[in-house]
Structure 1
Amino acid sequence: MDPGQSSSLQLPSFLHGTFRSVQQKTKREGLRCGEQYRAGGTFPAPRQMLDVPAGEVVVAHGVVDFQHERPTWRLYMVSDVMSGLSDALDGQNVFPARDAYEAFFRETAWGALYFAVSPDAPRSVERTVLRLRAVLRFWEQLQSVRYLFKTLGVAHSLEELMGASCGWAMDAWCPGGEASVRLRLDAAAERMGRATRAECIEAIFRQMPLALAHAGKLNHRDVVADPSFQRERLNTLDPWSFERVSGACPSDLIWLLHNWDYELGQQ
């Protein structure tokens, strides 16, 4: 643990309450952040931080949040802060602002965890390294509570949460082995941090079978499933597209498979 770092987890007060109250508070927080960013390119710290009692449950995914009238910790609703931030900017420089928001609040335990487990965030190899390392820095604090993720009524430990949300990174970059989730995440981050383009492609190949299994309808499945076709296309991807899939996250690979399938249909 870093010197001076608390052993208990703290979350912004705007993330605690009923669904409706958290929705209102996070939207206001996003507007506040957007106004300050637009004025000076910085973000304000949350007005109030609260200790989360050891063992308490934090909701980390909206799919399991059915008890809207129950006051609880709703980490996943940081997404509403991001929406408020975008609204405050009126569509101007939204993506750089969202990236800056992540970089700033990834230096907090709650921000580090949110961006690591968020299902909609981009997962390039470079971005994923930063997220995993951030969570690892705050591991002791984050493991003091339990988390609801995608399985209704099942409260996860931090290791279980990271396995459920970031297991793809371990499978792609630290396959096999009996090490703990924490050690595998650390090894995956270390390998991703020094990965070459060729090593990214090999990680992508490790995850391609899973992506193909969940890709849904593909009109040219036999072609896009051919490893020689995949390697040829990966080697010629433009820099933006390659960066997007470089972390080897299956959801990004599904996007890539459908792009290839569409292109084949246009020929």
Structure 2
Amino acid sequence: MAPGETSSLQLPSFLHGTYRSIQQKTRMEGLRCAEQYKKDGVFSAPSQMLEVRLDDVVLTQGVADFQHERPVWRLYMVSDVMSALWEALDSQNSIVVRDAYEAFFRGTAWGALYFALEQMGPVSAPRTAQRLQAVLRFWEPLQSVRYLFKTLGTELSLEDLMKASSGWAMDAWCPVGEASVRSRLEVAAERMARATRDECIEAIFRQLPQALAHAGKLKHRQILADPAYQRERLATLDSRFFERVSAARTGDLIWLLVNWDHELGLQ
């Protein structure tokens, strides 16, 4: 454990309370961040942090939040902070501001987990590696509590949470499944961080069957499932499109397959 790091998890006070109260507090936090960014071009830590009790549950996705009057931790509402920030900085490039906000708060346990789970993107393999490595740095405090992800009432450990949200990364970049979730994430992040284009293509190739299985209606599914066709198309992607799918995230690969399917329909 790094010097000064505790084994308990601390979250900003603006993420605890009823849904309505958090809406108000996160908007105020977004405006605070905007004022500082306008003045100094940087961000600073929230003014008040609270320790999460061992019997508390942290909600990480809005789809599992049906009791809005219940005072709980709502990590997913960091998105409200960012919305207020963008609104207040409407003259700024939203992508630049988003990236700056993420870069700063990825250095906190709560920020690291939020950006790893939210998977704002599309993003490159190196950016995904940064997100996973940030979670790994705060593994001990993040492991001290339980989480709700996308299923109501199902409390998850950190290991189960990361498997549910980032299992695709482990499957694509560390397909050997006998090791622990933490170990596989470490290997996956390390490989993503230094991956060549060819290594990214191999990771994408491993995940394309999973993407095909979840892609819904495709008019040319048989052609898209052909490994030779897949390799040919991956090899010809320009740098901008390739960066978008280089992490091999399932959702980004579905987007790629839909684009290929549309192009086949135009031929």
Tell me the distance in 2 between the aligned counterparts of 1:32 and 1:112.
20
Query: Matched residue of 1:216: which SS?
Result: coil
| Cross-structure match for 2:252 | 252
Shift of residue 175 of structure 1? 0.6
Aligned to 1:24: 24
Query: Unmatched 5+ residue regions in structure 2?
Result: none
**Counterpart-to-counterpart distance in 2, 1:124 and 1:66:** 33
Could you list the per-position Cα deviations for residues 167-226 of structure 1 after superposition, in whole angstroms to 9, with x for gaps in the alignment? 110000111231110111111111112211111111101110110011111122222222
1:99 aligns with 2:99: yes
Tell me, in whole angstroms, the C-alpha distance in 2 between the residues paired with 1:4 and 1:19. Answer: 32
- Counterpart residue number, 1:51: 51
1:12-71 per-position Cα deviation (integer Å, ceiling 9, x unaligned): 011000001111111221122122213321013211111111232000111100010000
Q: Say whether the 8 Å CA contact 1:115–1:121 is kept in structure 2.
A: no
State the shift of 1:123 in Å.
3.7
Cα distance in structure 2, aligned partners of 1:171 and 1:207: 7
Please list, as runs of the form range in 1=range in 2, the aligned pairs for 1:1-267 lying within 5 A after superposition.
1-90=1-90, 92-267=92-267
CA distance in 2, matches of 1:196, 1:119: 22
Q: TM-score, normalised by structure 2?
A: 0.97
Query: How much does 1:119 deviate?
Result: 4.7
Question: How far, CA to CA, are the matches of 1:35 and 1:122 in structure 2?
Answer: 28
Aligned partners of 1:22, 1:105: CA distance in 2, in Å? 19
Any idea what the Cα deviations from partners look like across 1:76-130, whole Å, max 9, x if unmatched? 1111111111111115211010011000000000000000111544342011110
How much is the aligned-residue C-alpha RMSD, in angstroms? 1.2
Q: Which moved more, 1:29-38 or 1:99-108?
A: 29-38
TM-score relative to the length of structure 1: 0.97
Unaligned runs of 5+ in 1: none
Task: Write the distance in 2 (CA, Å) between the matches of 1:2 and 1:55.
Answer: 25
Structure 1 residue matching 2:114: 3-state secondary structure: helix
Worse overlay, 117-126 or 1-10: 117-126
Distance 1:91 1:242 in 2: 29
Letter of the 2:253 partner, please give it.
Answer: L
| 1:113-167: CA deviation from partner (whole Å, max 9, x where unpaired) | 0001115443420111101110010000000100000111011000010010011
Bigger Cα displacement from structure 2, 118-127 vs 157-166: 118-127
